[in-house]
Amino acid sequence: MKTFLSSLLIAFILSSTALAEDLKPYQHGDWQKLITTNPQRPLVVHFWGVTCGPCIKEMPLWGSFIKNNRSLNIIFVQVDNVPIDQMIKMLSKANLQTANNYYLNSHFDERLRYEINPKWRGETPMTLVIEKDNKQTLKIGNTDFVLLKKQVFN
């Protein structure tokens, strides 16, 4: 039994370490680099927080959505000032550990929010859809996944 528990603990530590390495830092000035990753198709950028109640409920829905729509170009950006292990725990519970994940590596201030979208005041969850022609649609609050799918596939 001890061997099994030790193996389980080692596997958890290794998977957490791998996920921590997959989390990429995001800071002021990174927005243009982030949104030009693949300009040939729409991009969905979802901003969320570990301390955001609606985000906690919604993140597993994002995990299911990604599983069923693997061809979508989706980026997740965690904006709370929390330890990385808390981000990893929430991403793992939502089955998003292999998603394109970023975390805020600087202070979440007006300059950062304005760089992303001047209409956004920092509320989470927030989803921004950037279409091929650079048209942006801002959605604050919980995501309507049916509507989102229609928007990015039409």
Res 3: pLDDT: 56
Tens-binned pLDDT, residue by residue, of the chain (154 aa): 555 444 444 444 444 444 445 899 998 888 888 887 666 788 999 999 999 999 999 999 999 999 999 888 999 999 999 999 999 999 999 999 999 999 998 877 888 889 999 999 999 999 999 987 778 888 999 999 999 999 887 7
- Alpha-carbon gap, residue 50 to 93, rounded angstroms: 12
Tell me which amino acid residue 115 is: E
* Model pLDDT, residue 90: 97
Instruction: Give the per-residue pLDDT at 152.
Output: 85
CA–CA separation, 26 vs 135, rounded Å? 22
Buried b (16+ CB within 10 A) or exposed e, 135-151: eeeebeeebeeeebeee
What is the rounded distance in angstroms from the CA atom of residue 150 to the CA atom of residue 97? Answer: 25
| Degrees, nearest 5: CA angle 13-14-17 | 85
